[in-house]
Chain A
Amino acid sequence: MKHITNNEYAQMVKKASPPSNSAVSIPMAFLFGGAICTLGEALINLYIHWGVEKDVAYACGSITLVFLSALLTGLNVYDDLGKIGGAGTLVPITGFANAVASPALEFKTEGYIMGIGAKLFAISGPVIVYGISAGVIYGLILYLFQLY
Chain B
Amino acid sequence: MIPIEKEGIRNMATRIGKYTLRLDSSPSLVGYAAIASKKESEGPLASYIDVLNDDPMFGQKTWEMAESRMQQEVAEIALRKCSLSPGDISYLFAGDLLNQCIGSHYGMREIGIPFLGLYGACSTMAEGLALSALFVDTDIAANTMAVTSSHFCSSERQFRFPLAYGGQRPPTAQWTVTGAGAAIVGKNSVPPYVKAVTIGTIEDKGVKDISNMGSAMAPAAAQTLTRYFSDTLTNESNYDLILTGDLAGVGSDLLLQLMRGEGYDIRKKHSDCGLMIYDMQNQGVDAGGSGCGCSATVLCSYILQSMREGRLNDVLFIATGALMSTVSVQQGQSIPAIAHLVHLSTKPN
Residue from the set A16, A83, A95, A106 with the largest chain B CB neighbour count within 10 Å: A16
Inter-chain contacts of B215 with A (CB < 8 A): 13, 16-17
A16 to B226 alpha-carbon distance, docked (Å): 21
Smallest Cβ distance from B68 to chain A, in angstroms?
14
Of all chain A residues, the one with the shortest Cβ separation from B257 is A12
Residue of A nearest to B207 (CB): A13
B166 contacts A82, C-beta separation under 8 Å? yes
Question: Which of the residues B163, B170, B205, B254 comes within 8 Å of A16, measured between beta carbons?
Answer: B254
Q: Which residue of B lies closest to A86 (CB)?
A: B168
**Residues of chain B lying within 8 A (CB to CB) of residue A12:** 254, 257
State whether A6 touches B262 (Cβ < 8 A): no
Q: Among the listed B61, B222, B253, which residue makes an inter-chain contact with A1, where contact means beta carbons less than 8 Å apart?
A: B222
* Residue in chain B with minimal CB distance to A16: B253
Q: Which of B61, B162, B253 contacts A103 (CB 8 A)?
A: B162
Q: Is the C-beta of B219 less than 8 angstroms from some C-beta in chain A?
A: yes
B263 to chain A, nearest CB (A): 9
Write 5 A-B pairs (CB below 8 A) sorted by A numbering: A13-B250, A16-B215, A83-B166, A107-B157, A123-B165
Chain B residues with a Cβ under 8 A of chain A = 61-63, 157, 161-172, 205-207, 212, 215, 219, 222-223, 226-227, 249-250, 253-254, 257-258, 261-262, 284
Interface residues of A (CB under 8 A from B): 1-2, 4, 6, 9-10, 12-13, 16-21, 25, 73-74, 76, 78-79, 81-83, 85-87, 89-90, 95, 98-99, 101-103, 105-107, 109, 123
Query: Given A1-B222, A79-B166, A99-B165, 16 other A-B contacts at CB below 8 A?
Result: A1-B219, A4-B205, A12-B254, A16-B253, A16-B257, A18-B171, A18-B172, A79-B165, A79-B167, A90-B166, A95-B166, A101-B164, A102-B165, A102-B166, A103-B162, A105-B163
